[in-house]
Structure 1
Amino acid sequence: MRLIDQPHHDGSPLYVSTARPALGETVTLRVRVPAASRVREVWLRGTPDGEPRFLPVRHHEGEWWVIHYEVRNPVTNYRFYFLREEGEPVWLTAAGIVAGDLTDATDFRLVAYDAPAEWMTDAIVYQIFPDRYARSTSAGTLDKDDLPDWALPREWDLDEVIGRGPGTAEQFFGGDLDGVVEHLDHIQALGVNTVYLTPIFPARSNHRYDASTFDVVDPLLGGDDALRRLAEAVHARGMRLIGDITTNHCGDAHEWFRAAAEDPNSPEREMFYFGPDYGLADGDYESWNGVKSLPKLNWGSTLTRERMIGVLRKWLHAPDGSPLLDGWRVDVANMTGRRADENRTHEVAALLRREIVAVRPDAMLVAEHMHDSTGDVDRDGWQGTMNYGGFTRPIWTWLCEPDTPNDYFFGTPGGVPRRTAESVLDTVHSFGGRMSWRTLVHSWNPLDSHDSARMRTVAGTRERHLVAVALQMTMPGTPMVFAGDEFGLTGWNGENSRTPMPWNRASDQDQETLSAYKSLVRLRTEQPALRRGGLRWVYAAADTLAFLRESPEETLLVVARRAAGEALDLGVGGAGEALGRAARSAVSVNLYGGADLVAGVVPAATGPDVQVWRLA
């Protein structure tokens, strides 16, 4: 499917004069209209104050048409309407070219709410599951007598991780925060700049999503002082540190819940959902997905709001005022504030963002969504999401091993379906087209996480795994690397994927994969177009995906293949004079992959492969 001749627009600087508009500001919008699309008139359709309005877009020069447009509402929608020399008119929205009428759901959006911190645009996130990352040299050996009653001690380099059944939440390998400090050289050498820790508060599990308090750091991780040492070491290297908070629930051993459960007249009772008042049996309470160890917080309670705001604000600074965490990843954000006929999710998101930004204007607030986050973003709440729906899942379906079991695919029956490049593009458009460009680029793009199978297991081979990594580092959005992926670690579900890092297991360190990760992270870091440029699709057909990352200064061509393929003329030479000259000239520079782009023709590939060229 050749796409290069289609009109194009996105929210990047080449097409929109500012990603941080103020309400009432006039923004310059540019749309690229190749001559091959045979368009004679271009109109912008907006909906100021909810009323459709058409405005003429003026031809500027060559392929470019330009209009100046007022940011009338906090979220200002618009789309383009093309009258062609032949054939029916078509729309251009964030989901692509569409013939026939459609809802406003995929309109382009200008967002006038306070923008995320500037540093987030350049972030590359490294996820650490503390129990499995590193045990500090001063920690000594694990002794059952020194552990809480729930913990099942395991040997770091000897015991296999339990992936299902008894012991999954209790197996304890003993990683701590000082162990992370001792391996910051590895993290920095990888090239990432943002460290994200899954929960660090005391709990009755190795994952710590069932916190028993939010007031202290788990002593098993080294306590408050260990977090301070880690924060100081991370910040000294110019990196950021992100925490993980459960706004939807706490643990059944949490001091708030114990007070509520033991005394119906306690102030904490209103923080949870107990008994007949909420359609539950006497003594029963609402919990996450019916898991009774995770009682659900009631955000209709003033006390819940006050206490959770205090938690989020407390850990942004140490008592002496020095920075600790630089923001939060919000666990189960999609369920926070939602229960039956209650829906306070956006209200909670806006409250939390307002409160943490008041303390740290540069703080990150990213929401976990395992499916469709598009209804909860583009307001004054979450700054982005974990883009499982619009990135992880389509990449898996394109690069998976055939007949991959359904354990791997987030519980979807029938296994991971193996789909074509055209299907991948449809899914990327379906999700990305329903959020603003600003939200898209500040959302995390994980290939996997502590909640999923590992990408290496899904892909089945190093070669396909590295194609996935290349897409992660070259597509819009914030790359999120799960610790151990850089060594090619495997895992068939979330629990099984939480493998202790192989610091002393050379046989589990795939050095070729590690080298590729370093090269691809460096490529993203060194090429501004990969972090801040637009995304213009060139080609999608079965085993091949090709796209441009465009900025005012440069254009990069990315070609990814999941299998061997013949030489391919993508048609970039006919996509406009400037691009055609660049693609067919001798000045095209290969930035990754090592192949030459000769006269605009991508050379044949002998297997899964990614090539990146600078065209101009």
Structure 2
Amino acid sequence: MKVTYDSWQKQYKTPFGAIQANTLVTWAIAIDQPVQEADLWLTKLNEDPVAYPMNYNDETQKYETQVRVGSSGLYNYYFAIKQNNQMFYVDQGLFGQGRLRQDDHNLKQYQLICYERKVPQVDWYDQGVVYQIFPDRFANGNPYGEVTGRKKNSFLYATEEDTPYYIKNSRGEITRWDFFGGNLAGIRKKLPYLKKLGVNTIYLNPIFLATSNHRYDTVDYMKIDPMLGDEDDLRGLIHDLHQNGMHLLLDGVFNHVGQESIYFQEAIKDKSSHYYSWFNFINYPEKYQSWWGVSSLPEVNKSNPEYQDFIYGDHGVLAKWMKDQVDGWRLDVADELPMDFLRNIRNRLMKENCQVMIGEVWEDASDKFVNSEYRPYTFGDNLTGVMNYPVRNFIVGLLTSENSDAEIALMNKLALLVEHYPTNFLRNCLNNIGTHDTVRIKTALQNDEKLVLLAFGLMFMLPGVPCIYYGDEAGLIGDKDPDNRRFFPWGRESRSLIAQVSKWINVRKQNPVLVKSKIGFLHIATGINAIVRYDEKVIMVYCINKNKAETVLAKENFAFYCLPKTIAEEVAAELDQTKLSGEDSILRKIPRKANIG
């Protein structure tokens, strides 16, 4: 018996991927012989599975069923077939292909996300390119480079070329924070560079008063760190950004504060302080709940009504900074914030006409569990997108893998993400090939700028919003924290890399197919792979050769995944017999010959 099912093709499942609540879904499977019985088994999380009989359709020659999925949730499904009084099962293989099995032990079920409502699409955001800046490490805009707001028990580097270094005690705790002196005025002065590069949005790591250089240890949410400037500097930066058609995302750190925060200090000085209930003390005042056990980062009690009002109330943190026309927020450790807390932040931002709320979630956000509790990030009422670290994993893996099986597995994992996420949510995800929490992309790729350029190309080809970590486009190197937080190499940039990244930004601006279209994959040989994006009018294909040897592409070696046959045929005809140099790529734009898929 041969059974065919492909969750990526509309003749087997429609609509594709995640669905909105109350959507009618059609499933179909092709079986090469009549069977006694065929059923779709659909299970909602924490509920009993339900069997839906599949009836044979003479017109399509498939067994079919339709189910109206009424409520949002995390669902899984598989197929069961009875033939000659024996049971067979169809679960998920690679790239949505059905896999016939003779037992139901450890079935790999298909996942189906049913979301409550669509997240908003904001043109400037999802059609744009974001640039992430670690404020202390980008530029000093003071007239003579002086550093204001200097902090006690810290040190300043002698030159911008110094390598970041931590001074730690015997317990591994940082005892002296290090600073270069980057500030908001410096970012403001470098806007012409960023505009010429082509980015339209800046995402800043935390800017509020803190002890450290990274500022994830907030001292006062209502003040700009004086090393960075003041509120007038922030307003001036936002004014200049908006005058240039650019936008600003701020980093919200609401899970924990710094040990020196005014809130925590009041709590440990006076047990009767109303701030006492903001924290979870284990043995007052010395022992308390902290982020991952780091004592310098006391965790805040997010269920405390006063703290909630302080963050998202009418006179709270978000309301204050939104008055300065901030355009969006990235939320630190979003998977440690309660769902109601996230929903209320979203509600506050909606009241402020702010539609961009990106959460830090490192994994596939559609099936994330925290402390055995499902976190419905994709349901539409909380986050509008997440930081897409799986994209970085895919790109770095593809450019460092050593065999075809590993590359195909990476493609399959990315395909699963595309299938799991609602379309709007996927388009809102903030893609990256590096952040302040990862090894620099150039270092990850053995300082090979040709591979770095391939990495940028792959990022710009994938669904989601490209986000450039400051300096990556200039060839900045760096291992894990703190080495990945070096100062921008002004005067020592890789001009050629900057020029090529700028070209990619223009390619994305000029081709809407890279913003809102479907995706497929092509594997040719170890180290030679392609991303295919397509809509009703055009196909764009980006083929890379990470190997050092030149190759001639031959269509008999092409293996396509997640693509309609017509698209695959058009791509094959375009690339066949093309010469591809080592550590190089081909970008082709192909007008559609057939309006399919």
Q: TM-score, normalised by structure 1?
A: 0.78
| Residue among 476, 484, 488 paired with 1:489 | 476
Partner deviation per Cα, 1:376-426 (whole Å, 9 max, x = no partner): 3223222222222x2222322332499xxxxxxxxxxxxxx9983123224
Say yes or no: does 1:548 pair with 2:532.
yes
**Counterpart pick for 1:366 among 340, 344, 358:** 358
Q: Is 1:442 the equivalent of 2:428?
A: yes
2:297 is aligned with 1:294: yes
Matches of 1:548 and 1:30, distance apart in 2: 26
Counterpart CA distance in 1 for 2:58 and 2:181 is 63
Q: What corresponds to 2:322 in structure 1?
A: 317
Deviation at 1:274, TM superposition (A): 0.7
Q: Structure 1 residues 151 and 437, CA, compared in 2 at 3 Å: closer, same or farther?
A: same
* Correspondences of 1:128-207 after superposition (within 5 Å): 128-136=133-141, 138-142=142-146, 147-162=150-165, 165=168, 170-207=177-214
Q: Which residue of 2 is the match for residue 259 of structure 1?
A: 266
1:560 aligns with 2:544: yes
Q: Equivalent residue for 1:112? A: 116
Q: 1:315 to 1:19 in 2, by over 3 A?
A: farther
What one-letter code is carried by the residue in structure 2 that aligns with 1:131?
D
1:573–1:583 CA contact under 8 A, matched in 2: no
SS of alignment partner, residue 494 of structure 1: coil
Distance 1:285 1:561 in 2: 52
The code of the aligned residue for 2:192 comes to D
Bigger relative CO (Cα 8 Å, ≥ 6 apart): 1
CA 1:554 to 1:64, structure 2 compared with 1: closer, same or farther past 3 Å? farther
Matched, 1:423 2:415: no
Counterpart in 1 of 2:8? 9
8 Å CA contact 1:248, 1:335 repeated in 2: yes
User: Is the aligned partner of 1:74 residue 2:78?
Assistant: no
The answer on 1:459 being equivalent to 2:450 is no
- Aligned length in residues: 554
Change (3 A) 1:135 1:141: closer
Work out the CA distance in 2 between the residues paired with 1:301 and 1:10: 48
- Cα–Cα, structure 1 residues 368 and 581, in superposed 2: closer, same or farther, change >3 Å? closer
2:223 to 181, 205, 216: 216
Match of 2:372 in 1: none
Alignment of 1:37-48 (within 5 A): none
User: Is residue 2:300 matched to residue 1:308?
Assistant: no
What is the rounded CA distance, in whole Å, between the counterparts of 1:509 and 1:62 in structure 2?
59
On the 8 A contact 2:208/2:225 being kept in 1, the answer is: yes
Q: C-alpha separation between the residues in 1 aligned to 2:489 and 2:472?
A: 11
Question: Of 523, 535, 546, which residue of structure 1 is paired with 2:507?
Answer: 523
Structure 1 window deviating more from structure 2 (149-158 vs 523-532): it is: 149-158
- For normalisation by structure 2, the TM-score amounts to 0.80
Q: Is the contact between residue 434 and residue 469 of structure 2 (CA under 8 Å) also seen in structure 1?
A: yes
Cα deviation for residue 363 of structure 1 reads 2.4
Aligned residue type for 1:579: I
Cα RMSD for the two superposed structures: 4.1
**What is the alpha-carbon distance in structure 1 between the residues aligned to residue 93 and residue 423 of structure 2?**
12
The answer (yes or no) to whether the contact 1:396–1:458 under 8 Å persists in 2 is yes
The yes-or-no answer on 1:383 pairing with 2:384 is: yes
Deviations 1:121-159 (A, max 9, x none): 3242210011111111x4433368x62213312244343
| Equivalent pair of 1:17/1:29 in contact (CA under 8 Å) | no
Aligned residue among 459, 462, 469 for 1:475:
462
Q: 1:533 to 1:433 in 2, by over 3 A?
A: closer
- Higher-strand-fraction structure: 2
Deviations 1:298-348 (A, max 9, x none): 112111211121444224532xxxx52212111122233xxxxxxxx2222
Q: SS of 1:202's equivalent?
A: strand
Q: Give CA deviations for 1:509-530 in whole Å, capped at 9, x if unaligned.
A: 1112111111112222222221
- Residue 529 of structure 2: SS of its match in structure 1? strand
Distance in 2 (alpha carbons) for counterparts of 1:64 and 1:475? 33
Residue identity in the other structure for 1:141:
G
Distance 1:106 1:306, change over 3 A: farther
Alpha carbons of structure 1 residues 158 and 171: separation in structure 2 relative to 1, 3 Å: same
The runs of 5 or more residues in structure 2 that have no matched partner are: 82-87, 369-374, 593-597
Matches of 2:63 and 2:461 in 1, distance apart?
A: 27
1:125 aligns with one of 130, 136, 143? 130
Cα contact 2:77–2:109 (8 A) shared by 1: no
Distance in 2 (alpha carbons) for counterparts of 1:60 and 1:549: 34
Offset at residue 350 of structure 1 (A):
1.8
Task: In structure 1, give the amino acid aligned to 2:356.
Answer: M
Kept in 2, the 8 Å contact 1:316–1:327? The answer is: no
Contact between 1:20 and 1:114, CA under 8 Å: does it hold in 2? Answer: no
Give the distance between the partners of 2:145 and 2:199, measured in 1 at CA.
30
TM superposition shift of 1:190: 1.9
Tell me if 1:268 matches 2:304.
no
Q: CA deviation at 1:231?
A: 1.1
Kept after mapping to 1: 8 A contact 2:438/2:481? yes
1:477 alignment partner AA: G
SS for the counterpart of 1:378 is helix
* Corresponding position: 1:396 with 2:381: no
Q: 1:548 to 1:55 in 2, by over 3 A?
A: farther
**How far does residue 39 in structure 1 lie from its aligned partner after superposition?**
11
Shift of the alpha carbon at 1:98? 3.9
Question: How big is each residue's C-alpha offset from its partner over 1:547-574, in whole Å with a ceiling of 9 and x where there is no partner?
Answer: 3212222222232232134423154899
Query: What corresponds to 2:84 in structure 1?
Result: none
Judging changes above 3 Å, is the alpha-carbon distance between structure 1 residues 551 and 65 closer, same or farther for their aligned structure 2 residues? farther
Tell me if the contact between 1:486 and 1:514 (Cα under 8 Å) persists in the aligned partners.
yes
Which of 66-75 and 542-551 deviates more? Answer: 66-75
Counterpart check, 1:582 vs 2:570: yes
The 1:89/1:239 distance shift into structure 2, 3 A limit, reads farther
Q: Secondary structure at the match of 1:395?
A: helix
Using a 3 Å threshold, how does the CA distance of structure 1 residues 75 and 372 change in structure 2: closer, same or farther? closer
Q: Deviations over 1:28-48 (max 9, x none)?
A: 8799x9x9x989999977558
Once residues 264 and 565 of structure 2 are traced to their aligned partners in structure 1, the CA distance between those partners, rounded to angstroms, is 66
Give secondary structure in 2 for the equivalent of 1:349.
helix
Indicate how the Cα distance of structure 1 residues 300 and 578 shifts in structure 2: closer, same or farther if over 3 A, else same: closer
Structure-2 separation of matches of 1:578 and 1:121: 28
Deviation at 1:212, TM superposition (A): 0.7
Q: Secondary structure at the match of 1:212?
A: strand
Offset of 1:444 from its aligned partner? 1.8
Aligned-pair distance for 1:536? 1.9
